[in-house]
A and B are shown apart, each in its own frame.
Chain A
Amino acid sequence: MKIKIKKFYYGDIPGDEAGESIASPTITNDKAWPLWEIFIRSKQGLDHKHAGSLHAADAAMAIENARDVYTRRQEGISIWAVESKNIHASNPDDAESFYEPASDKIYRHPGFYQLPDEIKHM
């Protein structure tokens, strides 16, 4: 029998080629823990940086989970946790009107100004 093989990739096995095993009922009615965004300060003097997300039942647990998940290799010394639903983000459709107007304001950058060579550092 010639098996018809479709192209697929590591970790990407198409459902139609992969035999379905017998489905068993799983419990889906339990309330999932909310998603949190985790920000980590890697050392004193640096900003908190987005590290990733995780699930936790409340804020205290989110911070502890972040400690256990994201600082196992001494990646941080301070953790912020924000419930993902509380993050407000700009819309990519606004990108042109938001960010492009800044592109011609070159006078905001120090390189715009020509100074005599005698002034070495300014």
Chain B
Amino acid sequence: MNPLIQFTLFLADSNLILSQKNAEWCGHGPILEQDIAITNITLDLLGQARYFYQYAAELMNQAGHTHITEDSLAYLRTEREFKNLLLCEQPNGDWAQTVLRQFFYSVYQQSLYQQILQQSNSQLSAIAEKSLKEITYHIKWSSEWVVRLGDGTPLSHHKMLQAIKALWPYTGEFFTPTDFEKEIIPIDYEKLKMQWIDSVQNVLEEAGLPMPQNIFMHTGGKLGSHTEHLGYILAEMQYLQRTYPNAQW
């Protein structure tokens, strides 16, 4: 498959899967105001995913596929075809793990999309530009929660430590480019990594939380080698489309 399509699907899948996970909070948040807040982020991510899927579908239909739509891409591809980051499919855990997952992802997204903005692909950069406004708010919201919990009570501090331990091993994948990434657009992965480490370090420091060192990093999501969580996510998400093939909803 053409690397641009793969890259676009990687962007779409990561947003969709994280949106799907965040959506589980709707109706179950720690307080109404924050239930509404995380649901806004859920909707933003879903919206971004849809723009990328629509673009990928357009590219695929141009390349000779037929009848590819945002929904066929989201609902009719298998575990091995999904290219989302492993971080995005990790369980919600508690509020600490959810806000930290969002924070790690949004900071990465910001740096990556800023680089996409500089690229000549006008479709991708238009989506990136629109998304960056949303991402700026996601970073504000999630980083404030990281600080609040890290520097809140001993219990919340402890829960943040656990969250870091659970999620950190999935952040290395951000900076490990696959072939399709190397082939399409010149993204400076060193810069991406430096920016990410820098932002995360600042926030963790303010939160009184340690920056993990020398942790083994898992990779593979971008190439379709996932954790066991993804299968369940897709089973739930895709069940209606799979049960009633070719139906319109």
Contact = CB atoms under 8 A, between A and B. Distances in A.
Interface of A: 33, 54-57, 60-61, 64-65, 68-69, 72
A54 B40 contact: no
A69 B40 CA distance: 9
A69 B36 contact: yes
Nearest to B40: A68
B36 A68 contact: yes
List 3 A-B pairs, minimum CB-CB distance, nearest first.
Answer: A65-B33, A68-B37, A68-B36
A64 B31 contact: no
Contacts of A64: 37, 140-141, 144
A72 B41 CA distance: 12
A55 B144 contact: no
B141 A72 contact: no
A12 B11 CA distance: 48
A61 B141 CA distance: 9
B4 to A, nearest CB: 34
Interface residues of B, number: 11
Contacts of B32: 55
Contacts of B141: 64
B40 A65 contact: no
A65 B148 CA distance: 15
A106 to B, nearest CB: 47
Given A68-B40, A72-B40, A54 B33 contact: yes
A65 B34 CA distance: 7
B127 to A, nearest CB: 21
B45 to A, nearest CB: 15
A56 B33 contact: yes
Contact of A69 (B33, B140, B144, B148): B33
A61 B37 CA distance: 11
Report which residue of B33, B40, B141, B144 has the largest number of chain A beta carbons within 10 angstroms of its beta carbon.
B33
5 contacts: A54-B33, A55-B31, A60-B144, A65-B37, A72-B40
Nearest to A67: B137
B237 to A, nearest CB: 25
Interface string B147-160: 01000000000000
